Structure 1
Amino acid sequence: MEPNNFIPTSNIANKVRNTRLPRTKPLMPLFELISNSIHSIEEAKKNAGLKSEDGQVIIECLRNGAPEVLANMSDIDIYPIHSFIVQDNGIGLNEENLKAYIEADTDHKIE
């Protein structure tokens, strides 16, 4: 293989599996998602005309158990949260952000 044709790659799924999250910081991925949403909203304010008061982040907690059962329970905390859905009305995954997203250990938006 010629050196000019060599393109480094990264197995992101395996990198995630190999990354250890300390037991004391289980919500760090959620904080990262919220941070990304805030950046996306700030970008939309600068570039897409979003008004400051219109920025929105919605966090949905998904729990074990059927939604119809959970809806009728007074104490759903016995059913653990297994994941989150985070939505925002920011700039979205534009080309620049997509390039950074697929780059392992990117320094995009490091500031």
Structure 2
Amino acid sequence: MLKFQTVRGGLRLLGVRRSSSAPVASPNVRRLEYKPIKKVMVANRGEIAIRVFRACTELGIRTVAVYSEQDTGQMHRQKADEAYLIGRGLAPVQAYLHIPDIIKVAKENGVDAVHP
């Protein structure tokens, strides 16, 4: 669940409600806690990625792009705060579908959420 706060000129994301399986009173009760999203990876390219980057920037969230070897000069790479190469030796479509590389980049760089 997302929590928003109204600020001048729009909304600001306060945090995301995440469930935890840590026992509280009984083993069947799940504790919920709010953790703010500070960094989002966008595993798209082109106009969709640029729109997500713009929205994240307006909310004060850092952005991470992934790109294939053939997309080194593309706009989505330049608009992100950070950009990382994925799918070495693969065609562009296969590179963006290479889930192990995407997960590796996300874990190594402190990404809180991945779009889509």
TM-score, scaled to structure 2: 0.24
Higher helix share: 1
TM-score, scaled to structure 1: 0.24
Higher strand share: 2
Greater length-normalized contact order (CA 8 Å, ≥ 6 residues apart): 1
